[in-house]
Structure formats: structure tokens, C-alpha cells
Amino acid sequence: MSKVEIMSARVEGDKVIIELPIDFLTITQKYRSDLSYEVNDEISMANYVAENILTYDEEEDGTTAFHKLVDGLFDEAYESGENWLDETDEEFDEVKWDD
């Protein structure tokens, strides 16, 4: 078996870049412990993942699995005493997001 590049994350400028190599996604599904999938078209699979990863498991209020992941990371950082994060009770109006 050839070497499979694993996912990675890094900071570039003002962005966090998360890379999910296509072969990594393919292999992780082929060797799942509960069931497995054979990807027969990697480009279509990659397009599907890119189009759906940020809205996966969306709830009625718009919350997604990605929102829960980010919130969980911040909760863990706060509970671990990270010094770059302070709790606030400040309320906010609606945030306008760029699409």
C-alpha cells in the first residue's frame, strides 16, 4: 500500500486552512470499523464533500456539526485555561456573514 497523506491544519495569514486529502477520505471510508464504502469516483466524492461539509447535520436553527466542532474546541480551550481566551457575558446583535 502506498503512503496516504493525512489531514492537516495550519494558519496562513488570517485564515485557518484545513486540508483533507482525497486519498485520505477514500481510505478512511474503506477501512471504517462499522461498515465500509468503496469510492468509485474520487473527484465526484471530493466535490460532494466540499459542497456539504459545512452544512452536514444541519438543525432547524442552522447549527451544523461544524459549528458544534468549533464551539467544542473553544469550550475545551477555555476549560484548559488557554490564556488567549476570556469568557464574556456581552450580548450581540445579529452578525452579518459573507457567503
The model's pLDDT over 68-95, given as tens digits with 9 standing for 90+, comes to 999 999 999 999 999 999 988 887 777 6
Each residue of 49-79: b (16+ CB within 10 Å) or e? eeeeeeeeeeeeeeebeeeeeeeeeeeeeee
Q: How many residues comprise the chain?
A: 99
Q: Does the pTM of the predicted model rise above 0.85?
A: no
**Contacts by residues 5-14 (CB-CB < 8 Å, ≥ 24 positions apart):** none
Residue pair 78/85 in contact by the 8 Å Cβ criterion: yes
The model's pLDDT over 10-69, given as tens digits with 9 standing for 90+, comes to 999 999 999 999 999 999 999 999 999 999 999 999 999 999 999 999 999 999 999 999
User: Any idea where the domains of the chain sit in the sequence?
Assistant: 1-53, 57-84
